[in-house]
């Protein structure tokens, strides 16, 4: 049997990782400034992460959600306290796409409505409902296209006011658009959006799958705007590479038996990983570090005057390449052994571990300076 060939692959096979570094089969070392799509939050193979998972593996790794699992309760309690949402409820699943599917489903249950508003350049996953609210027609199959979705420009209050009505179940918005190219909702827009949703009985869903878990210097990116969504979706950095996702649910939303469900969501290993991540974020003050190092990177990128539209918050950063530097991402990897991300057509995305150090950031800038000085 062959693998289903859906991913363009770099000819590199990492076999070892620690902190912000990877080593391939030839023992070549790479700086990881992409974190496997913003997944590596506390650093590869953090000792506490490895210890908690190993310890749990020797106890019990899985049983169904038909029995009590105290680890789930511990994770919900710790996440509530660290995130600033202690009164919310937590539904655990396995990925960001699943989290968004369940958030949309909840919004439809609560409101009795079908329509969802999303935004241009959005990305919310590749499963049925999640891909329907993703602004990329290429990956939306005819079956997925049957959902009732309206795409609007980001930061356009007038467009929201014109389209929102009693048929809309939810507005779904990323804390910061990731796959779309690091596009940041204005704080004023988020505040007005929150009010408009409340006035129309529409649930506001914040997709924090990429932008959450301390990446922007606050636990969630939407907290920079001082709003409280009805539903918040999380994944990626939540497990530092172990598959886990979740939906934070407003306390006014009452569950009933079978309303949502999952086989693997909230299993023992996933909860151990999730707790380890929160432990490290708290004990190593990684939100502050993300904000501090991120601000320094943003300032240096802007000061270089080599790039266009440098933008971001914390360690969620994007910048556009001028025509003369369109090769830069590939060159950083092949000539300097640095992984970065991209967004078409010309954006480099930086989504490193929150534990990225000043020295590691300086290594990146040394490579940038060498390449930009050539052109």
Query: Would you place residue 375 in the very low, low, confident or very high pLDDT band (cuts 50, 70, 90)?
Result: low
47-283 domain in CATH 2.60.40.1890? Answer: no
14-46+287-372 domain in CATH 3.40.1710.10? Answer: no
- Average pLDDT for residues 39-64, to the nearest whole number? 98
Mean pLDDT (the chain, rounded): 97
Q: Is residue 201 helix, strand or coil? A: coil
Ranges of H-type helices in 2-113: 35-38, 47-57, 70-83, 96-111
Q: Is residue 348 helix, strand or coil? A: strand
Inter-residue contact 137 to 108 (CB < 8 Å): no
Ranges of H-type helices in 7-62: 35-38, 47-57
Task: Find the length of the chain.
Answer: 375
CA distances, 343 to each of 123, 180, 188 (Å): 12, 6, 26
Residue whose token pair is 């497990």: 239
For the chain, give every domain's residue range: 14-46+287-372, 47-283
Inter-residue contact 321 to 328 (CB < 8 Å): yes
Q: What is the per-residue pLDDT across 308-326, written as a single tens digit (0 to 9) for each?
A: 999 999 999 999 999 999 9
Q: Where are the strands (E) in 153-251, listed by range?
A: 168-174, 203-207, 231-234, 245-249
Percent of the chain with pLDDT over 70: 100
Percent of the chain with pLDDT over 90: 99
* 44-73 b/e (C-beta count within 10 Å ≥ 16 → b): bebeebeebbeebeeeeeeeeeeeebebbe
- The tokens for 301 are 């990128």
Q: What is the per-residue pLDDT across 140-171, written as a single tens digit (0 to 9) for each?
A: 999 999 999 999 999 999 999 999 999 999 99
pLDDT at 374: 83
pLDDT at 358: 97
pTM of the model: 0.98
- The tokens for 324 are 């003369």
Query: Would you place residue 88 in the very low, low, confident or very high pLDDT band (cuts 50, 70, 90)?
Result: very high
């Amino acid at each position: 049997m062959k693998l289903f060939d859906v991913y363009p692959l770099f000819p590199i096979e990492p076999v070892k990782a620690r902190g912000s570094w990877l080593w391939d089969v030839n023992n070549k070392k790479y700086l990881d400034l992409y974190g496997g799509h913003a997944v590596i939050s506390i650093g590869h193979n953090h000792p506490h992460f490895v210890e908690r998972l190993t310890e749990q593996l020797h106890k019990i790794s899985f049983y169904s959600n038909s029995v009590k699992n105290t680890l789930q309760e511990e994770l919900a309690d710790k996440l509530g306290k660290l995130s600033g949402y202690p009164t919310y409820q937590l539904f655990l699943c396995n990925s960001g796409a699943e989290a968004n599917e369940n958030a949309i489903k909840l919004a439809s249950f609560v409101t009795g409505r079908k329509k969802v508003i999303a935004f241009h350049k959005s990305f919310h996953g590749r499963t049925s409902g999640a891909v329907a609210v993703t602004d990329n027609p290429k990956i939306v199959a005819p079956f997925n296209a049957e959902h009732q979705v309206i795409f609007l420009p980001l930061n356009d209050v007038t467009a929201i006011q014109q389209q929102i009505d009693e048929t809309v179940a939810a507005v779904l918005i990323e804390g910061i658009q990731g796959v779309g190219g690091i596009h940041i909702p204005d704080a004023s827009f988020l505040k007005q959006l929150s009010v408009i949703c409340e006035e129309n009985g529409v649930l506001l869903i914040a997709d924090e799958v990429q932008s959450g878990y301390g990446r922007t210097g606050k636990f969630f990116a939407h907290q920079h705007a001082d709003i409280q969504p009805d539903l918040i979706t999380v994944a990626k950095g939540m497990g530092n590479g172990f598959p886990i996702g979740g939906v934070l649910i407003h306390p006014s939303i009452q569950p009933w038996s079978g309303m949502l469900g999952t086989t693997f969501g909230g299993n023992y290993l996933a909860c151990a990983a999730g707790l380890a991540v929160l432990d490290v974020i708290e004990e190593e003050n990684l939100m502050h570090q993300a904000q501090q190092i991120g601000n320094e990177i943003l300032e240096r990128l802007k000061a270089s005057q080599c790039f266009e539209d440098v933008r971001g918050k914390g360690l969620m950063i994007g910048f556009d390449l001028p025509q003369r530097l369109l090769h830069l991402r590939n060159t950083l990897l092949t000539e300097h052994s640095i992984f970065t991300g991209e967004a078409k057509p010309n954006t480099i995305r930086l989504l490193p571990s929150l534990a990225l150090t000043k020295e590691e950031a300086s290594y990146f800038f040394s490579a940038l300076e060498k390449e930009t000085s050539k052109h």
